[in-house]
Amino acid sequence: MSRRKPTKGVKHTAGLEMMDRIRIVGGNKLDGVIPISGAKNAALPLMIASLLTSQKLVLNNVPRLADVRQLQLILENHGVDITAQPAPGSDELSGQCLEFSTPVISDTCAPYELVSAMRASFWVIGPLLAREHEARVSLPGGCAIGTRPVDFFLDGLSALGAEIEIDEGYVVAKAPRGGLVGAKLRFPKVSVGATHVVMMAATLARGTTIIENAAQEPEVGNLARCLIAMGAKISGIDSPRLVVEGVESLHGAVFDVLPDRIETGTYAFAVAMTGGNVLLANARPENLRAALDVLELTGVALEEEEGGLRVIASGQRARAVDVETQPFPGFPTDLQAQYMALMTRSTGTAKIRETIFENRFMHVAELARFGAQISVEGQVATVKGVPELQGAQVMATDLRASVSLVIAGLAAKGETIVNRIYHLDRGFERLEDKLSRCGAEINRLRD
C-alpha cells in the first residue's frame, strides 16, 4: 500500500523567478558560439527511469532548469536520493552530473501539489507500477497548450494488466499479483509521454510487450538506450514498433542526456531572424532535419561541423515557407512558435498548420504587439511578412511561445520587455547569457 507522508518542498521552484522580466534591445546580429545544453525532454524521462532500479543511475549533461529541479523534488518524495557530482569536461559544455539512488521506494503517491506544476511528472506512474505494483498519481498540469488527456497512458497500462481507477483527481493503478504482464498494444495517435511510460513499465513486466505506433522522437530513443544500459531488453529503437522483453530487475548505469534539438532549432531561428554567424556547439542536426530543411529554404546557410552546426544568415528578410507540425521525423510542434516569429518578417505569406496540439497559437496575440500580421483559422495560422517589427511589452504564455517572443525582440526595432518569463526558465538554460555572449543586447530585470 501507499506509504503516505507529508509532502516536502511543494512550492513551485520557479516561483521566485515569477516576477523577473527580460529586456531586449533589438537589431544586433548574433556572432559566436552557443553551447547547446542537454535536452529537457530527454532529461526528465531519464531521471524518472531511476525509479526502476535500486542501484545508482548516473546522468551526465543534465540541464540546469526549473523543470529539472521540480522533478528532483518529486523523485525525492518517492525516496530517491539525488546528489550532484563534479561534471566531466568544462562546466559550460557538459551540464550537471546527477546521481540517483533509490534502494527503496518510500512513497508510491505523487501528490497534486508536486505533479500539477509539470505534466511530465505524471510519468512516474510507469516505473512505480512496474517496481512497486501500485501507484497513486495526481492527474497532471503543465503548459496550457491544449487539453492533453492521459487516456493513452491509462489504456497502455491497462493492456499490461493494471487495474486503474480515478479517485478525487488521482489515478490509482494496481498491477496484478506477480506484476505487470507483457502485451501487444497500439497507440491511436503518436504520444511521446505514453510511449515513455509504457516502455518503462514493460521493462519489468512478465513476457514481451509490443508497442505499435510508438513515438520515434530522439528523446524516446535516448530513454530506450538508457534502459538497455540498465539491463532492459528493447528492440526496434527509433522505429514505430518497439519490442520490450521483460526482465526480473534493472541495474545501475552511467548515461548521457542527448543535446537539446529544440534549443538548437530555437537559436538557429534566432540567427536566421537577426543575421550573423553562430556555431551551435554539440548540436546534432540529424535530430531536427525537417526544421533545418525548412530553414535552408527560407534562405539560411547551414554547415555541419565536427563540433556542431554552423548557422549563417544575412539578416535579410526570410523567404516565406509553409510548415505543418508532425511527430518526429516531421517538423516539431515545439519549434512552431519560434518559426512563426521568423515568418513575421518574411517577404511573403506563410501558412503554419499545427496538427499536434489544438490550442497552440497563444503566441499569435503577443507577436501582433510587435506589428506582426497573423490571422488564425482553426489549426492554421497565416503569417503575412512585414518589413520591420517594433519592440513591445509582451507576455510569455507557455514555454516555447515565450522564446518566440525573445526571437522577435532580438530583431525588432527598439526595446522589448518580455513579462512572466518563468516559463523560459523551465526550459532554456542561461538564455540571456548565451545570447548576450553572441552580441545580443538582452538582460534580466529582477523586481
* Binding residues with ligand UD1: total (CB under 6 A): 21
114 binds ligand UD1 (CB under 6 A): no
Q: Which of 333, 346, 397, 402 binds ligand UD1 (CB under 6 A)?
A: 333
CA atoms within 13 A on the CB side of 186: 1
Interaction mask 68-107, ligand UD1, x per CB under 6 A: ----------------------------------------
Angle between helix axes 192-203 and 40-49 (nearest 10 degrees) is 20
Q: Which residue, 49 or 150, has its beta carbon nearer to ligand UD1? A: 150
257 binds ligand UD1 (CB under 6 A): no
Cα separation, 123 vs 417, whole angstroms: 35
Residue 165: what are its φ and ψ, rounded to 5°? -140, 160
- By residue count, the chain amounts to 447
Q: Which residue, 150 or 407, has its beta carbon nearer to ligand UD1? A: 150
Cα separation, 412 vs 85, whole angstroms: 41
In angstroms, give the least distance from the CB of 39 to ligand UD1.
Answer: 9
Q: How far is CA 111 from the centre of its chain?
A: 22
Nearest to 47 by CA among 88, 116, 86, 102: 102
Interaction mask 381-420, ligand UD1, x per CB under 6 A: ----------------------------------------
Cα separation, 81 vs 100, whole angstroms: 6
For residue 377, what are the β-bridge partners?
380
In angstroms, give the least distance from the CB of 385 to ligand UD1.
Answer: 26
Q: What is the DSSP string of 40-55?
A: HHHHHHHHHHGGG-SS
49 binds ligand UD1 (CB under 6 A): no
Residue environment code for 143-167, b if the CB has 16+ CB neighbours within 10 A, otherwise e: bebeebebebbbbbbebbbbebeee
191 binds ligand UD1 (CB under 6 A): yes
In angstroms, give the least distance from the CB of 417 to ligand UD1.
Answer: 26
Residue 154: what are its φ and ψ, rounded to 5°? -70, -40
Residues 6+ away with beta carbon under 8 Å from 22:
406, 409, 417, 418, 421, 424, 431, 432, 442, 443, 444, 445
Interaction mask 150-189, ligand UD1, x per CB under 6 A: xxxx-----------------------------------x
In angstroms, give the least distance from the CB of 212 to ligand UD1.
Answer: 15
Q: Which of 89, 149, 176, 414 binds ligand UD1 (CB under 6 A)?
A: 149
259 binds ligand UD1 (CB under 6 A): no
Q: Which of 107, 260, 263, 334 binds ligand UD1 (CB under 6 A)?
A: 334
Question: In the annotation, is 438 catalytic?
Answer: no
Q: Which residue, 23 or 148, has its beta carbon nearer to ligand UD1? A: 148
Catalogue the active-site residues: 143
Site of interaction with ligand UD1 (CB under 6 A): 41, 44, 119-120, 146, 148-153, 189, 191-194, 219, 333-334, 356-357
